[in-house]
Chain A
């Protein structure tokens, strides 16, 4: 069956450290993989998109990697801040649908 898996346990880190979140998928061959941020009670907000022929993408303090052999994406936030605390969702286009993982909650402590 098709699955998109993200760590369901919250990730707790200290301010200034690098947060690394993982997204694994099975039985998909996505052309794109995306990462979104979601705050409680609000809709997800797009952060980054990476294509299947790209290994890495950066935007300010964010970095995404995409390994189509491992079927995995890593999402990094460097120099994390308490304001980065949120749930982060990965999403991919599978058979033209946009499907999401369950998300990982990130908590950044001062």
Chain B
């Protein structure tokens, strides 16, 4: 089983629908991140969380919300999906202890908004 699991892997949804992307991790890490990736734009940070009670906006948080339900779970919601939110979404985790900030990524969720 993967250390960082994203569900669903692929999703097609209609404009205006609410959708949730889920991420769970078995690494015991405290930090979790949501990124989106678009061709030519690299990975852009949407939200990040350093623990269950610490949620922070990234570069492109408008139109998104998150929930850290437990240390191991971090969900990303699109309240009312729009076509320009079509992208590849990645969840990542890292451990703040020991000074090593190496990040581990999930397999990605390919989201298409039509």
Residues of A within 8 Å of B56, CB to CB, are 97
**Which of A39-47, A58-66, A70-78 forms contacts with chain B?**
A39-47
Chain A, interface size category, equals: 20 to 34
A100 touches B101 (CB 8 A): no
Q: How long is the Cα–Cα vector from A41 to B58 in the complex, in angstroms?
A: 23
| Docked pose: A32 CA to B101 CA in angstroms | 8
A43 pairs with B42, CB closer than 8 A: no
Majority DSSP secondary structure for residues of A touching B:
strand
Provided the pairs A42-B108, A43-B90, A43-B108 are in contact, do residues A99 and B103 lie with their beta carbons within 8 angstroms? no
> Interface on chain B toward A: helix, strand, loop, or mixed SS?
strand
Contact residue among A32, A96, A98, A103 (Cβ-Cβ distance under 8 Å from B42): A103
Q: What is the CA–CA distance of A6 and B45 in the complex, to the nearest angstrom? A: 17
Q: Which residues of B contact A99 (CB under 8 A)?
A: 45, 59
Q: Which one of B45, B59, B101, B105 contacts A44 once the chains associate, using CB atoms below 8 Å?
A: B105
Q: Point out the residues of chain B lying under 8 angstroms from A44, CB to CB.
A: 43, 90, 103, 105
Given contacts A97-B48, A97-B58, contact A43 B100 (CB under 8 A): no
B100, A49: Cβ atoms closer than 8 Å: yes
Which residues of A line the B interface, CB within 8 A? Answer: 6, 8, 32, 34, 36, 41-46, 49, 89, 91, 93, 96-103
20 example contacts (A-B, Cβ-Cβ < 8 A) are as follows A8-B40, A34-B103, A42-B108, A43-B107, A43-B108, A44-B43, A44-B90, A44-B103, A44-B105, A46-B103, A49-B102, A93-B101, A98-B92, A99-B59, A100-B42, A100-B43, A100-B44, A100-B45, A101-B42, A102-B42
